[in-house]
Amino acid sequence: MPKVTQQHMDARRKQILTAARRCFLRDGFHSTSMQDLFAEARLSAGAVYRHFTSKDEVILAIAEENMRDVLDITLAVATNRPGRSLGAVVAELLNVIRAKSVEEDLAGLAVLVWGEAMRNRSLAGKLDQLMGRIHANLVILVRDHQETGGLPTNVTAEAIASTMLAVLPGYILQVALLDPAAVAEMPYAVRALWPGPAGER
């Protein structure tokens, strides 16, 4: 039997998740069965179960992928500190969410995942971990701005980071439910709300 390469395994996993997204967006989590996933992916049960042992595992994987780009951006900005205003950072996060929503309906899936997390403790725990990591990255960024005089120090970095983070779910919900024009100016608005010192982008 020929050896299965990692590249082949990664491609197969992507095929399954892409099919699952289509199913979930069309029919919702509860109305989608594993048999529906097999049919949508055009794969045997064995091929799918080689990657995911249950529908919950598929949902968890999609939830993680949905937040990975947001997490990566906050980590890159927090660790590299390229001298950008908080508004510019949040605006970039919103732009990533919008782009990913056009490509693979990140916003619609996020809303489905939030609802599922209300009854699925494993999923709720995973979302809590991911949000915690994003929050921690934003805290680093806020503290950097507090140290350079760009933000007041009479409010904790944690509270400011939490306020910044609160913008994301509201934006995601609007992207999922409203006309794109309704949220088109939000990246510009957060830049205006959180400008940096003169010279910052």
pTM of the model: 0.82
Judge whether 27 lies within some domain.
Answer: yes
Judge whether 200 lies within some domain.
Answer: no
What pLDDT digit, counting tens, does each position of 74-121 carry? 777 667 656 678 888 888 888 888 888 888 888 898 899 889 889 888
What pLDDT digit, counting tens, does each position of 39-79 carry? 999 999 999 999 999 998 999 898 888 878 778 877 776 67
* CATH number reported for the structural domain that contains residue 27 in this entry: 1.10.10.60
Backbone torsions φ then ψ of 132, nearest 5 degrees: -65, -40
What pLDDT digit, counting tens, does each position of 1-19 carry? 456 788 889 899 999 999 9
- Name which residue leads in pLDDT, 4 or 188: 188
Query: Residues 18, 95: one domain?
Result: no
* Residues 159/139, Cβ–Cβ less than 8 Å: no
Handedness of CA 167, 172, 174, 175 (dihedral sign): positive
Tokens 């510019």 belong to which residue? 88
- Name which residue leads in pLDDT, 191 or 71: 191
| CA 74/CA 116 separation, integer angstroms | 25
- Amino acid sitting at position 35: Q
Judge whether 156 lies within some domain.
Answer: yes
Query: Residues 7, 39: one domain?
Result: yes
